[in-house]
Amino acid sequence: MKKARIIQGGTVVTAGSVSVADIRIEDGVIAAIGRSLDATGAETVDAAGLYVFPGGIDPHTHLDMPFGGTVTADDFESGTIAAAFGGTTTILDFCLTERGRPLGDAVAAWHAKAEGKAVIDYGFHLMVADAGEQALAELPELIEREGITSLKVFMAYKNVFQADDGTLYRTLQLAREEGALVMVHAENGDVIERLVSEALERGDTEPIWHALTRPPQLEGEATGRAAELAGLAGAPLYVVHVTCAEAVERIAAARARGLRVYGETCPQYLTLDISALERPDFEGAKYVWSPPLREAWHQTALWNALSSGTLQALGSDQCSFHFKGQKELGRGDFSKIPNGGPTIEDRFSLLFSEGVAKGRIDLQRFVELSATNAAKLFGLFPRKGTIAVGSDADLVLFDPSATRTLSARDHHLRVDYSAFEGMEVQGEPVSVLVRGEFVVRDKQFVGQAGSGRYLKRSRFGLGGSLALPAVPIGGSPS
Ligand SMILES: NC(=O)NCCC(=O)O
Ligand SMILES: [Zn+2]
Ligand SMILES: [Zn+2]
């Protein structure tokens, strides 16, 4: 047995409680929680004055991902180190597949990207581009063998990742049969393709046209369509990176009808707006995401949806490309700017600072949104996403009174800029443990490449002894 550890006197916060307590860790697992635990034979760690949160779960990352003829600046090593500094101890990364190629090959390739590199635990979602015979035959076995219980369908990126509605519907049917959760990138890719061609024909080539050719109506329409198809198939649905009131309304309406429709948003949509794409000297390219940044008023709709339970999670959608040499591929043609940005490190802190510190959400909701709900939706609860006896000792010791300014000067990603440069945040992860071992201790990296473990996950709704509630997460339909 490894030496026991006791995290002493921190304010332990879960989705259900806040209390000052000690946490005893044995063999990577929480062995006891209580006041004044006996520390004989254990290493003690003083957490007085700090919050102790469950390690963050980021359900949406793209590390070492090919896109638009290039590959993301951050891989499973730099990406997970940055995640750990930011308070995240588990990520779920998207395993991309190619039409006509065995899905199993893609899964093997994603294992090769992560093994020996990840410093925190990780699992994969599996992309379905085409629900042909080969894919449908492979999926049940992969779900069982790999514990990949979430499937991703892109409704946009025409001629690249986009699947048609038939594939989405067939994937939903299979997911219902197999106990998997289908995730959608909900934008109408066909209409976007038309709007992009028209803009380029007019000579509108600047980054701002990325946003103007992907209006919120097309995200709302696709979100509503996916929700209807999920309802028809009797399957649950998770909408990734929700950006706008139009999509929130579709999710709320589906949930009000009792459909199991869930959604996430991302820190960039809560804190940045469309004006960033107009920054001079092509700097707007740094802020090219799909769906795009919206007018600032949409942020209120997103915060309301997070606080009311219409949206259940915050994913980073980490997908970083250097400004120099990568984002610059789109000079003269906005459609060639690689989509995505660096967000993995700041997800947790921005939610605390903009959410809890500014009074938009309480501590319980913070824990639900940063960890617990993702664990429940993606088959990791109660092993991950909470602080309970028997759970993995994935913990964040967090100083709520620290203040700092986000900057590429001191982030831990490789990418050459910060999406949140100059933003003041309140609160900071001080130390981070994964399965009882420090990965970050007193703001220093003490982890090891390759120490992160691959996570086989339970099927949807089978979250372990604490199963997913029968009613939608977040309480009554809103
Ligand atoms: N979101 C984005 O712009 N890039 C990553 C790929 C995706 O999630 O659509
Ligand atoms: Zn997407
Ligand atoms: Zn993404």
Distance 36 CA to ligand 3 centre (A): 44
How many CA atoms does the CB half-sphere of 448 hold within 13 Å?
5
Task: Please tell me the predicted confidence (pLDDT) of residue 266.
Answer: 99
Judge whether residue 51 has pLDDT over 90. Answer: yes
Q: Which residue's CA is the closest to the ligand 1 atom numbered 8?
A: 317
CA 253 / ligand 1 centre spacing (Å)? 25
Q: Ligand 1 centroid to 338 CA: how many Å?
A: 9
Q: How confident is the model at residue 461 (pLDDT cuts 50, 70, 90)?
A: confident
Mutate to test the pocket of ligand 1, among 125, 290, 321 (most ligand atoms within 8 A of CB): 290
ipTM, interface predicted TM-score of the complex: 0.99
Does position 476 have pLDDT exceeding 50, yes or no? no
Asked whether the predicted pLDDT for residue 478 surpasses 80, the reply is: no
Question: Does the structure show a pLDDT above 50 at 380?
Answer: yes
State the closest ligand 1 atom to the C-alpha of 62, by its place in the atom list counted from 1. Answer: 5
Name the band, by pLDDT with cuts 50, 70 and 90, for residue 462: confident
**At 300, is the pLDDT very low, low, confident or very high (cuts 50, 70, 90)?**
very high
pLDDT digits (tens, 9 = 90+) for 410-435: 999 999 999 999 999 999 999 999 99
For residue 463, name the pLDDT band (cuts at 50, 70, 90): low
Q: Residues lining ligand 3 (ion), CB within 5 A?
A: 317
Across residues 291-320, what is the average pLDDT? Answer: 98
Sign of CA dihedral 318, 16, 49, 388: negative
Which structure tokens are listed for 314?
A: 């915050």
Nearest-atom number in ligand 1 for the CA of 339 is 3
| Percentage of residues in the chain having pLDDT higher than 70 | 97
Residue 473 pLDDT > 80, yes or no?
no
Q: Predicted confidence band at 469 (pLDDT cuts at 50, 70, 90)?
A: very low
Over residues 299-327, mean pLDDT: 98
- Residue 465 confidence (pLDDT) above 90: no
Amino acid identity at 247: A
Q: How confident is the model at residue 471 (pLDDT cuts 50, 70, 90)?
A: very low
Choose which residue among 65, 95, 339, 347 to substitute to test ligand 1 binding: the one with the highest number of ligand atoms within 8 A of its C-beta. 339
pLDDT at 474 over 70: no
- How confident is the model over 441-454, as a mean pLDDT? 98
Residues at CB less than 6 angstroms from ligand 1:
62, 185, 241, 289-290, 317, 319, 339-340
Q: What percent of the chain has pLDDT over 90?
A: 95
Whether the ω angle into residue 66 lies within 30 degrees of 0, i.e. cis, is no
Closest to 393 in 3D by CA, of 380, 406, 384: 384
Q: What angle do CA 199, 205, 207 make, to 5 degrees?
A: 110
Residue-wise pLDDT for 76-103, tens only, equals 999 999 999 999 999 999 999 999 999 9
Residue 470 predicted with pLDDT over 90: no
Burial-class residue 249 by CB neighbours within 10 Å (0-12, 13-18, 19+).
middle
Give the residue, out of 269, 289, 347, with the most ligand 1 atoms within 8 A of its beta carbon, to mutate for a pocket test.
289
* DSSP element (H, E) containing 83: helix 76-85
**Residue type (1 letter), 182:** V
Closest CA to 41 of 82, 2, 92: 2
Q: What is the largest distance, in Å, between two alpha-carbon atoms of the chain?
A: 74
Q: Which domains does the chain have, with CATH numbers?
A: 1-478 (3.20.20.140)
